[in-house]
Structure 1
Amino acid sequence: MGQWGVWVIFAIIFAIAEAILPSFFFLWFAIGAGVAAITSLFISSAVLNLLIFLIISFLLWISTRKIVQNMYKGSSTIKPYQDQFVGMKAKVDKIDDEGRIIVKIKGDEWRAFPEDEENYLINVGDDVIITRKNANFVYIKKIKASENNQKKETGE
């Protein structure tokens, strides 16, 4: 197997990595290795082919980086793995027939559970505060009317 075969193997490895991983990072290396495989048929210098591989891969990565970043931008500003909304105020949006509570946080709906037994009397439209987040749901605590009025007076 000549030098071109090594580049073809690299192209296949990078293409498989691209298919497995959720990014467009390895695609450019696969294309660069493919170009290096073709040029190795005409150029016998391994160093020159390595340089061609690196230059092609780098140029493809730089030229398409902004496009790929825009593709991966989500419409939601909430990152599910962060606890950025713990302590935030929310409003109870729905309570279904089975008693499941849905609150709206920054426009996204989240399933909610009362923090403790004292907070089980929650109704649609109630103001609540997010006390913690666990997986795909949040725990809430009802804001008492006196606390709610106090927050309005202090400007919170």
Structure 2
Amino acid sequence: MDAWVLWLIAAGILLVFEMMTLTFYLLWLSLGAAVAAIVALVVPDAYILQVVAGCVVAIVLTIFTKPLSRKFRSSSKGFEDAGTELIGRQGVVVEPIEEGQFGIVKIGGDTWSATSARSLKKDELVRVLKRSSTILEVERWEDFT
């Protein structure tokens, strides 16, 4: 089998792995392997030149696109957790909350497990102080206002 075919297969495999990881590093290696395939097609017996060309392309792309990818990551807010918008919102106690125990609080149309430093009765208004995983920490609404 010709060397250019092997380089092309390597480029394809790296591209498939890049699609699964979305890191961009494997993309640059894939493009380096594609360049090595082109060099192997033009100069079939220069194996060292194929490897060097592929490595140079991969390294140059990695170095020069790192600031660009960092800029894209910092400029986009990305995924924001829906639970962070709950902090400060008002809710109502559905199941009473005892000190050290969990209860249920309804905020908007969603119900959440909640805890509080004070006992809270059913139908009391509460404000969300913070969220940790799926449990909210709340306080009586009157304590807030």
**TM-score, length of structure 1 as denominator length:** 0.62
Q: How does 1:1-156 map to 2 (within 5 A)?
A: 1-43=1-43, 44-73=45-74, 74-75=76-77, 90-93=87-90, 100-101=106-107, 112-115=112-115, 118-119=119-120, 122-123=124-125, 126=127, 128-130=128-130, 133-134=132-133, 137-142=134-139, 145=143
Query: Stretches of 4+ moved more than 3 A in 1?
Result: 110-113, 119-122
Q: Which amino acid aligns with 1:63?
A: F
Deviation digits for residues 72-109 of structure 1, max 9, x if unmatched? 3442697x6xxxx9xxxx412566xxx6226xxxxxxx
Change (3 A) 1:25 1:52: same
Q: Which runs of 5+ in 1 are unaligned?
A: 103-109, 150-156
Structure with bigger helix share is 2
Question: How many residue pairs were aligned?
Answer: 124
RMSD (Å), alpha carbons: 3.4
Q: Which residue of 1 aligns with 2:95?
A: none
Preserved CA contact (<8 Å) 2:115 2:135: no
What is the identity percentage for the equivalent residue pairs of Structure 1 and Structure 2?
20
**TM-score, length of structure 2 as denominator length:** 0.65
SS at 1:100's partner residue?
Answer: strand
Q: Which runs of 5+ in 2 are unaligned?
A: 93-104
1:34 shift after superposition: 0.6
1:68 shift after superposition: 1.9
Residue range with higher mean Cα deviation, 33-42 or 69-78:
69-78
- Mapped partners of 1:19, 1:7: distance in 2: 18
- Mapped partners of 2:24, 2:121: distance in 1: 47
